[in-house]
Amino acid sequence: MSGYLYVLAAASLWGLIGPLSKLSFAAGMDTVEVAFWRTTLAWFLFAGQAVASRETRIAARDLPAVAGFGVAGIAGLFGAYVVAVEAGGAALASVLLYTAPAWVALFSWLFLKEPMGGYKLAAVAATVLGVAGVSLGPGLSGDAAFGGKAIFFGLLSGVTYALYYIFGKYYLGRYRTPTLFLYALPVGSLTLLPFVRFTAPTLAGALPCLALAVFSTYGAYSIYYAGLRRLEATRAAVVATLEPVIAAVLAYAMFGERFSFLGYLGAGCIIGSVLLTIWDGARERLRAPLPGQTATPRAG
């Protein structure tokens, strides 16, 4: 039971990203500035943990990949997500972020030569339909569709989030999260820096940024991986899909954000595609042969 509570807590903290970012925007902070301070402040926390646990070493051959993750997975994800929140609202950004599993399936097929079975194709199709639903339905104002900027950066956040999964497949088994973030986060901060327009600091803007770094970044990742130690990865991923639901509820309660009926259908398709992808992965693992056995041919 504790594993579920850990992952639910992490999903709740991630669901705060959009609403907290909007509070900083309302206080006058620049969009990318919020992502920059979230990245930079979180680095101090991960770096402190890595140093305290004496887990600071990374093999020289892995540094280019970790730096690349800092550019795409940190700067790309954190930057694109806040732009999507600013352009289309916290609810839309969170839903589009969860197109990531469909991108993972597509990238794995294109670059890792993993098979694209019927369930993966169905998940990708559901994601496309879902994006069409939230894009073509009336926007948060109720009288116009979401703008191209909101859709583009929302999808970009999903793509960069997908890169996190692919990167993690190779490196999270070799190093602990604080060790990787010790090197990746400063690269992300430096990548964001040229795009930042710094504003005069205010308490109203600084407090949400600090909460983003402490709770929605350092705390959420730490709690999530603590949950993974107590819970099967598939079950953890299912619980984590509550994040866009939590974000949408908070966005409605705090800012009055809501989708049209078509938008809610689209959001449901996207979340459904996530669950289908997770279920298909669990099915594949259950049907995989045990060590020493020969795999039997199967369709799809």
Each residue's pLDDT expressed in tens, for the chain with a length of 300 residues: 677 888 889 989 999 999 999 999 999 999 999 999 999 999 999 999 999 999 999 999 999 999 999 999 999 999 999 999 999 999 999 999 989 888 888 887 887 777 778 888 888 888 888 888 887 766 665 555 678 899 999 999 999 998 877 787 778 778 888 999 999 999 999 999 999 999 999 999 999 999 999 999 999 988 988 887 777 666 667 778 788 888 988 998 999 988 888 888 988 999 988 888 777 776 766 665 544 443 333 333
Closest to 29 in 3D by CA, of 85, 95, 73, 71: 85
pLDDT of residue 17: 96
Q: Where are the domains of the chain?
A: 2-286
Exposed e or buried b per residue across 5-41, where buried means at least 16 C-beta atoms within 10 angstroms of its C-beta: ebbbbbbbbbbbbbbbbbbbbebebbbbbbbbbbbbb
Beta-carbon contacts of residue 137 (< 8 Å; ≥ 6 apart): 145, 259, 260, 261, 262, 263, 266
pLDDT of residue 141: 52
CA max distance for the chain: 65
pLDDT of residue 174: 85
* Both structure tokens of 43: 């680095």
Closest to 96 in 3D by CA, of 80, 111, 107, 108: 80
Contact 255, 141 (CB under 8 A): no
Contact 124, 273 (CB under 8 A): yes
The residue behind tokens 């009336």 is 138
In this prediction the pTM is 0.86
pLDDT of residue 61: 93
User: Rounded distance, CA 53 to CA 283, Å?
Assistant: 37
The residue behind tokens 């894009």 is 135
User: Rounded distance, CA 37 to CA 206, Å?
Assistant: 9
User: Rounded distance, CA 164 to CA 160, Å?
Assistant: 7
